[in-house]
Each structure stands twice: as C-alpha cells, then as structure tokens.
A and B are shown apart, each in its own frame.
Chain A
C-alpha cells in the first residue's frame, strides 16, 4: 500500500506550541494553542506564503486563560486542499467543463444501448478537447513567458494536463466505450499515436529531407511506423528505398506483400472473430516461412521488421528507444502477438527503470489496463493536485453505470464524495463559487447541506451580488438562507442610513421584526425633524404594509399627513382617531398623535364630532393615567404644558361641537 503523503504547514511549529485543528468542507484550520511545549522553543516560525496555505485569517485572536505558553498572539492557518483551483489559466477548464457536466446531468438516461453509449463517448471526448484546448493555451503562455520561473510553471502545467488527458483517453477507450477485441486494438493504436509524440520530430525531419532513404534515421522512421501499426506509411517509405536499391527488389516486394496482407481488425461487423483468427493464422505462418528460409538474411533491417510482424518480443524490445514508454510496447505487442497478452506478463520492468518505484502515471495506467477503476481514481486523487479530474471522470464512469455497487464507509458514494470536494474547492475561490452551485445540485445526499453552509459565507459586497446569491437560494427554496441574506443587506443599509433600502430588504425577507425596527427609525426621524424622509417608498408600500403592525402604522400615519396636506380634514381626523382606538399606534406615539390633533381642533370649521372628541379625551386620560406619579414628576414642563393645551383645546372643541350639533338638531 502506498504511503499517505504528508503535508507540512509552513509557519506552524508543533515543537514550539501545541497545535489543534478542525476539519472544514474544503479547508483545515490549524491553530496554535496557548500551550507551549515543555523545553521547546517558544518563538513562532515565520508564516509561510505557499499556495496551499493562506495564513493569518484570524491572526492574533486572544485566548483567555493561563497556560505554559508565551502570552503572544496565536495564529490560525487555513490549509486548502485543492491547489489548482487558484491557477488562473485553468479557469477556462473549470468553466468549460462545467457546461459539459451540466449537459451530462441533463442528458437523456432513457436513450438505449448504442445511442446512449455514443452520447457518453461524445461527452468524454468533449472533456478531453477542453483539456487539450487548455493545454494549448498553457503551451502558448509558456512560450511567451519571459520569466524563467513562470515558464517552468507553465511547462509543468502542460505536462500535468497532458498526463491527465492521456489517462482520461485510456479510460474512455477501456471503460466508457468498452471496446472489445479488434476495435479495442485500433483505439489503443490511435491512443499511442496521439500521445507518444517524442518521435514525431524525427519522422518529420526524415520525411522532409531531400532524399529520405539516404537519411541516417531512415530505418528508425520505418520502424516507428511498423511499431505504431502504420503499415501503409511504412510501405510507402520502403517503396522509395526499393527503387533506389535494385539489387534487393525481390526482398522488398516480399516484405511489402506481407505488410499489405496483414489482417487488420475492422470497426464494422463485417467479419467474425473466427474469420479474423483464421486469416491471422494463415498470415502468421507465411511470415514465419519467409523468415526461416532466409529471405531477409541479407538485410538486418528488414529481417528485424519481419520479426516484429511475428510478434517477437526480443525484436520489439530492441526498438525500445523508439517506443519510449511501456504502454507503447504493450500496444505493439498486442498488435503483433494476437490474440491476447496480459499486461503483467510483459517485461515492462525494462521501461520502468530498474529498482526504483514506478512513477504515479505508470501505476495509474497499469491499474487502468487491469480494469481496476477504483484504483485508477484513488491513484489519481493522490497524484494530482486538483479534484477536477477525479470528480469529472468518476461522474462520467458513474453515468456509464460502472461504479454503482461501491459505497464508501463515509459520505454517500464515491461520485458524490469527489464532487463535493471539487465543488467545495470552487466555493473557496473568490469568483468560481458560482460554478460550485450546480455541482452541489447534483449531489443527492449531501449537496444541499454543503450548499447551505457555503452560500452563507459568500461575501456580499454589492447589492447585485447579493441578488445573485439570493436568486440561487430562492430557486432552491432555501428559506433560511434567503432570510439571512436579506437581513445582512438590511443591516448594512441601516448602518448606511439608507432606511428605504433597509425596509425593501426586510420586506423581501418578510422579516416582520426587522420591518418594525426600521419603521421605528422612520418614526423617530419624523419626531426629530418634523418631516418624513423617503416618501417615494412609504407612499408606495402597497400590500407589503401589512408585514408588521408598526409598518402598517407608518403607512397609515403618512396617509394622515397626506390627507391633512390635501386639507381633507374630516378624513384625516377620522384616521387619526382610528390609529389610537384600534391600537394601531404604539402607546409611545400617542402624545405625538394627540399633538397632531391640535391644529385640527383649532380649525375654523369643527372637524371632530362630539363623540370623536370624547374618544380623544379618553385617549388623553388613558395616556396620562397610565403614568405613575414618579413618571409624572419626571416629565418636563413642556410635556405638562402640552397636556394642558390639549385639555383646553378639547374642551373648547367640545363646546363648539355641542353648540353646532345642537343647532343642527334644532333646525
């Protein structure tokens, strides 16, 4: 079993302080405690600035209590697992593959058999073309980078992307397409041609030379074509050599004929496997015959090619330099020693460099050839510094119905586990968080919880961003988060003295308590300044006025002012009285309301009826009676004068209205 790779957190010094940690969805918090190590050095190390580490999120948080450690500040380190998320040039990969991922989740599961498989293969190819496009960009960036450090960083990324694409392509052939026998071999040959590019330059050089047969690498190129199964190209090249060397025309003709006759598997179902076997046997014997009767004895190049055609392992291994990788060797061997060969029987140690342990890439490809899908995913998770690859590959394999029975002892299943990791990484990024939402949506078991936890932590620096986050929550009926976002925005607006905006946000959240709070602020402002602010909002509350009692009062009170302003006195008086008698107005506001009644009581025309005046009197008495002696004593003189004035005005109004009503009755 592979050793678990350890990771050092730069700056955290366990020898100086005892450390504690807490796991988060995408991050680990490592904290220095107050407790020092007996005998250990107490000086804290310098905080590192590695990519995997963002130190000092909560620097200097004081911890109470006495310990053995120094009283200096403790630090908290945030350790992130997904490094590649922060690579700028990979953002294209994340964004484009997001679209493909969504397409795959939406795709028709009902499509049966072949068309479903074709669809899945197409999805796999789309993912690969994104990887290739990204690799191309990165390659261009590497070329144009002047800074050597930057150049090498880009070059590293190119080789990582190239390895990812290589692995993905093999998985596509073996698992997604699940080709068998002949077609499988053709796919593998394509795969080798596409990825073993070390010899491409040599081929190009020879072919573009003036006289290829005279080129010193001529036979190498012929061998490359044979090893890669590109027999037509090999024959074409040989024909030029033949015309240049009349002495061995016959030899060339025989070899050319053998290469021409080699039975190749076809993609269509035109021949049965047995037919193919028969033809193969026949052709193999023919090659054997020519080799044994020494037809090629005078030309070692052609003799070795004939041996390769016969699948002679030693002859193939002689061309090790031209194949460069063990998987090329494997595919060549498969091609010429038809029908089957197992990877483990191949002498791959010759490629893997002696006693040293194999490279991760070799281990991964080997596992793929052995159809150990879970091993492939596991090794990739360890070797790659991103979750993108395993998350998307696993999801695709899951859609191919290849991973169903595999449940983890934690979380739900492997697909969901990896998607959650990847999406959590996206959420830890300043701007890629929006992509993460859709990944969580497609994690049936824990996606929702993860989304809820992450979405509340998105910083809301503008209203527009808040609206986008809010939309995400509303679409998913995440009421708790909707309320919390609106509340945050309402609080912000309130702090900025934007009462209108604050009220809008609390109305959107249907937050009655907060609406009450803001209404009180409006009323307080009115009491202090004698006029309303934000009339455009208060006059247009509409049905949202019913959200809280205080808001209703605010709206109605403003309506009173409008009626008064429009000199519709009796309507205004009726509304004012109703605000008190129906207990819409808070008691603390009654004195203001009664004071507002004063000018109405002083109008030339009588506004309040006798009955209304009595009601007003009762309101005033309720208000004053409710106060204790002590409170009364504390009330300033202004208040006392106000009450006196009101009593007087009420009494005078009563007198006038009795006279008036009496007159009316009498007439």
Chain B
C-alpha cells in the first residue's frame, strides 16, 4: 500500500540503490541500504538506515524516513553498485574506475578499500584521459566482473591488484549490464539488443551463445536471472519492453511484455519469492509483476529475508511456476501488474528488493523505502 512508503529528498540525483545483503541465518528484515548519485559536481556513496534508529509507532510499526549513516565522495557518476559482502560495496564509475568501499560499522564511516583505475578505457589505458564508463558490475565474493562502454569485460578478485582476466573488444557496441548465470558463466546485454553468455572457463574471447531481439535491434539495458530456475532470464529494453528468455532453447525471447513507455533501467526477480518481479523506468514508473495471483493452488513462498527455498525442485509446484514466466501469454491468465508510483514525473533509475522491503531512487532527488511490500 502507498501509505507504507517513506520518501526522503536527498539533494542529489540517485542512480543506484542497493540493500545490504542479510547474514545467512538472519530473521530480521533488511535495515540498511546504499545509494549512489550521478550528474552532480560532487557525487556520493551514501549509507541509509531504516531500522531501529527511527521512530517506532505504537503498534511497533516503523514510521520514520531513512536516516543517513555516513557518506563518501565518489569520483564520477555512480553507474552501478553491488555489495560484495556485509561490509564492502563495489562501485562502477563513469570515469572507468572500479572502487571497493568498506563500511566501518564501529564508527559509521566509509573508506575506499581497493581501486582499479581505468578498468575501462578507450584507446590507451595510460593516457591522462580516455577512461570509458564502467556500466555494470556483478560480484560473487571474491570475484568481481565489470563491463563498460568500451565493450570490455574484466574479471577481478577483491584481493588482487591486477585483473584476473580481461576480454578486450568483447562487444563491438556498449555493454549495458552483466549478471551471473552460474558461478562460471555470465550474461551480458548490449546496445544492439543482444544477450550473450560467456563461459569464463574457456580461454576463447568469444561468447558461448548469442541471443537477440529480432528486427529493430532495440538496446537492452538490464538483465536478471531467475534465482531458482537459472534458464529463465529477464531483460529490459530501451522501448520499455520486458523480455523473458529461456536460454535452453531458441535464440529469441519466449515472451515480450509491453511495460514502460521509456527505457527500462532495472529488472529484478524477488530473490526469495521469484513469482514476483520488479522493473523501473525512465518514464518515472515502477512496476510490480506478480505471477502468484492464483493463490489457491500455491502456498505462499514469502519468507522475510530468508534464503531462497529448495521447495521447488522436489515438488509438482515446480511446473506451474515455470509456466508462469514462460507461458506464451502470461498477461492473459495469471499475471497481475501494479504500478507502485501513481504520480510519476522523473526517472526511477534504480530499485532493489530484499525480503519484504523495496528501495528505489529517482532523478527527482528522492529515495523511497517500502517495508511492507506484500502487505
């Protein structure tokens, strides 16, 4: 419900918002998220608390707005951001630099912990200028993978100074986003509507598979993989279209869903409740895609902050969930779509979901938190 949303104007355009991951056995909902800004003369990484620091209402409900814990200057626009672990955040910069920031919880400060300068660059890495924007980053501690406008893919390890591996000219167009398919395979999307799989075990500097949108070569901006069924992949495009791919078969998307009226900047399956998917867009909207509407047939999979359940693989439910995302016309029978922002104006650049919590940031210089997503 809308009344559960807290907003805070932060005097900087927000390009990224990410919840801090929860420890494995945590029962509490997430209480801390990070944001990054863009297009400021002075960009910042900020950490926000939404937990016990705020006011608690009479019935124990949290009411306050996010509180700033600490922040630090960041050189260039924050293009992407991922938590490496509980304390470290990897940040991709428009200058091409990739930085790992550490959050010191004892005195609430942030510091730069590790930095790869000009991990992405044009022409020559050593010249004073020529950094190319790093557009995407994904981590699987200690591995960090970055992609950029230079069409390059870098593989770093948090504890090593030099890149473990670099694929120069991996893509002739701009790589917009990256995610893990399996521990050794990654997915990238680019500005000519292609989805590529890269197998990092192979030394060949070629993708192992290329999928593409037919016809108009609409650029793809974001990609996410279903947390339980790794062959289901969602991407978002420049035209606002949501594409669902089954990477086991064919080279084209299984379904194309009309969604936003402008660039879809991010798409996220809910990590522990993947019947739910969230997308946000340049048109100022944030959509909640729900395939679990037929409640009578299925138990609820919602676990606050819990790890993804293994329930699926041993149960007949499995089949119906697969078909929920892969059926040819999902809008027809079982998908419920809600716009979570009624009076949209400027772009919603980023969102993140974890447990019952949603956080998002906009070009209208505000961050929003909803702590009762499924209420």
Residues on A lying within 8 angstroms of B by beta carbon are 88-89, 91-92, 95-96, 98-99, 102-103, 430-431, 434-435, 438, 461-465, 467-468, 471, 475, 496-501, 504, 507, 533-537, 540, 542-544
| Interfacial chain A residues near B40, Cβ < 8 Å | 430-431
**Contact call B151/A498, Cβ cutoff below 8 A:** yes
**Contact call A500/B172, Cβ cutoff below 8 A:** yes
| Interfacial chain B residues near A544, Cβ < 8 Å | 217
| Residues of chain B in range 219-237 having any CB-CB distance to chain A below 8 Å | 219
**Contact call B172/A431, Cβ cutoff below 8 A:** no
The docked-state distance in angstroms from the alpha carbon of A146 to that of B363 is 31
Other-chain contact of B364, A95, A475, A507, A535 (Cβ < 8 Å): A95
Known: A89-B11, A462-B149, A471-B263. A498 touches B135 (CB 8 A): no
Closest Cβ of chain A to B37, distance in Å, is 9
Closest Cβ of chain A to B213, distance in Å, is 10
Other-chain contact of A431, B39, B133, B135, B150 (Cβ < 8 Å): B39
The docked-state distance in angstroms from the alpha carbon of A542 to that of B122 is 27
| Residues of chain B in range 17-53 having any CB-CB distance to chain A below 8 Å | 38-41
Closest Cβ of chain A to B122, distance in Å, is 4
Closest Cβ of chain A to B286, distance in Å, is 15
Nearest residue (CB) in A for B365 is A95
**Contact call B122/A499, Cβ cutoff below 8 A:** no
**Contact call B133/A462, Cβ cutoff below 8 A:** yes
Q: Which of B13, B217, B263 has the most CB of A within 10 A?
A: B217
| Interfacial chain A residues near B13, Cβ < 8 Å | 431, 434
Known: A499-B172, A536-B172. A465 touches B364 (CB 8 A): no
Further 11 A-B residue pairs, CB within 8 A, beyond A430-B41, A496-B130, A498-B149? A95-B11, A98-B345, A98-B346, A431-B39, A435-B346, A462-B133, A462-B149, A463-B135, A536-B192, A537-B173, A543-B215
Closest Cβ of chain A to B68, distance in Å, is 12
| Interfacial chain A residues near B215, Cβ < 8 Å | 542-543
The docked-state distance in angstroms from the alpha carbon of A384 to that of B212 is 56
| Interfacial chain A residues near B99, Cβ < 8 Å | none
Cross-chain pairs A/B with CB under 8 angstroms, 21 sampled = A91-B365, A92-B11, A92-B365, A95-B365, A431-B40, A431-B41, A434-B363, A461-B94, A462-B94, A463-B133, A464-B77, A464-B135, A467-B282, A471-B262, A498-B149, A507-B217, A536-B171, A537-B173, A537-B192, A540-B194, A540-B217
| Interfacial chain B residues near A430, Cβ < 8 Å | 39-41
Other-chain contact of A497, B39, B122, B214 (Cβ < 8 Å): B122
Does chain A have a CB within 8 A of B112? no
Does chain A have a CB within 8 A of B82? no
**Contact call A468/B282, Cβ cutoff below 8 A:** yes
**Contact call A99/B365, Cβ cutoff below 8 A:** no
Does chain A have a CB within 8 A of B9? yes
Nearest residue (CB) in B for A492 is B122
Nearest residue (CB) in B for A87 is B11
Residues on B lying within 8 angstroms of A by beta carbon are 9, 11-13, 38-41, 77, 79, 94, 122-123, 130, 132-133, 135, 149-151, 169, 171-174, 191-192, 194, 210, 212, 214-217, 219, 238, 262-263, 282, 343, 345-347, 363-366
**Contact call A434/B346, Cβ cutoff below 8 A:** yes
Closest Cβ of chain B to A501, distance in Å, is 5
Nearest residue (CB) in A for B214 is A542
**Contact call B217/A501, Cβ cutoff below 8 A:** no
Known: A92-B11, A464-B133. A534 touches B364 (CB 8 A): no
Known: A536-B210, A540-B212, A544-B217. A462 touches B79 (CB 8 A): yes
Nearest residue (CB) in B for A93 is B9
Nearest residue (CB) in A for B366 is A95
The docked-state distance in angstroms from the alpha carbon of A542 to that of B38 is 35
Closest Cβ of chain B to A563, distance in Å, is 20
**Contact call B217/A98, Cβ cutoff below 8 A:** no
Other-chain contact of B123, A467, A468, A497, A537 (Cβ < 8 Å): A497
Nearest residue (CB) in B for A505 is B191
The docked-state distance in angstroms from the alpha carbon of A558 to that of B250 is 24
| Interfacial chain B residues near A498, Cβ < 8 Å | 122, 149-151, 172
Closest Cβ of chain A to B98, distance in Å, is 15
Main secondary structure of the interface of B (DSSP, over half): loop
Closest Cβ of chain B to A271, distance in Å, is 39
**Contact call A465/B39, Cβ cutoff below 8 A:** yes
The docked-state distance in angstroms from the alpha carbon of A537 to that of B193 is 10
The docked-state distance in angstroms from the alpha carbon of A536 to that of B123 is 20
The docked-state distance in angstroms from the alpha carbon of A96 to that of B365 is 9
| Interfacial chain A residues near B123, Cβ < 8 Å | 496-497
Nearest residue (CB) in B for A461 is B94
**Contact call A92/B169, Cβ cutoff below 8 A:** no
Closest Cβ of chain B to A196, distance in Å, is 29
The docked-state distance in angstroms from the alpha carbon of A537 to that of B122 is 19
**Contact call B345/A438, Cβ cutoff below 8 A:** yes
| Interfacial chain A residues near B169, Cβ < 8 Å | 533
| Interfacial chain B residues near A91, Cβ < 8 Å | 9, 11-12, 365
| Interfacial chain B residues near A434, Cβ < 8 Å | 13, 346, 363
Nearest residue (CB) in A for B362 is A95
The docked-state distance in angstroms from the alpha carbon of A535 to that of B206 is 11
**Contact call B365/A103, Cβ cutoff below 8 A:** no
**Contact call B194/A501, Cβ cutoff below 8 A:** no
The 5 A-B pairs at the shortest CB distance, nearest first, are namely A500-B172, A534-B172, A496-B122, A91-B11, A92-B9
Q: Which of B39, B123, B191 has the most CB of A within 10 A?
A: B39
The docked-state distance in angstroms from the alpha carbon of A96 to that of B364 is 8
Closest Cβ of chain B to A458, distance in Å, is 10
The docked-state distance in angstroms from the alpha carbon of A98 to that of B9 is 12
**Contact call B364/A98, Cβ cutoff below 8 A:** yes
**Contact call B366/A504, Cβ cutoff below 8 A:** no
**Contact call B345/A533, Cβ cutoff below 8 A:** no
| Interfacial chain A residues near B347, Cβ < 8 Å | 468
| Interfacial chain A residues near B149, Cβ < 8 Å | 462-463, 498, 501
Known: A461-B94, A501-B174, A542-B217. A471 touches B39 (CB 8 A): no
| Interfacial chain A residues near B151, Cβ < 8 Å | 498, 500-501
| Interfacial chain A residues near B12, Cβ < 8 Å | 91, 431
| Interfacial chain B residues near A537, Cβ < 8 Å | 172-173, 192
Closest Cβ of chain B to A489, distance in Å, is 10
Closest Cβ of chain A to B210, distance in Å, is 7
| Interfacial chain A residues near B216, Cβ < 8 Å | 542
**Contact call A99/B343, Cβ cutoff below 8 A:** yes
The docked-state distance in angstroms from the alpha carbon of A497 to that of B135 is 18
Nearest residue (CB) in A for B94 is A462
| Interfacial chain B residues near A461, Cβ < 8 Å | 77, 94
Other-chain contact of A463, B171, B174, B363, B366 (Cβ < 8 Å): B174
**Contact call A102/B172, Cβ cutoff below 8 A:** no
**Contact call A536/B194, Cβ cutoff below 8 A:** yes
The docked-state distance in angstroms from the alpha carbon of A640 to that of B150 is 41
The docked-state distance in angstroms from the alpha carbon of A330 to that of B202 is 85
The docked-state distance in angstroms from the alpha carbon of A96 to that of B94 is 27
The docked-state distance in angstroms from the alpha carbon of A464 to that of B238 is 11
The docked-state distance in angstroms from the alpha carbon of A434 to that of B135 is 21
The docked-state distance in angstroms from the alpha carbon of A468 to that of B348 is 12
The docked-state distance in angstroms from the alpha carbon of A430 to that of B38 is 11
| Interfacial chain B residues near A501, Cβ < 8 Å | 149, 151, 172-174, 191
| Interfacial chain A residues near B191, Cβ < 8 Å | 463, 501, 504
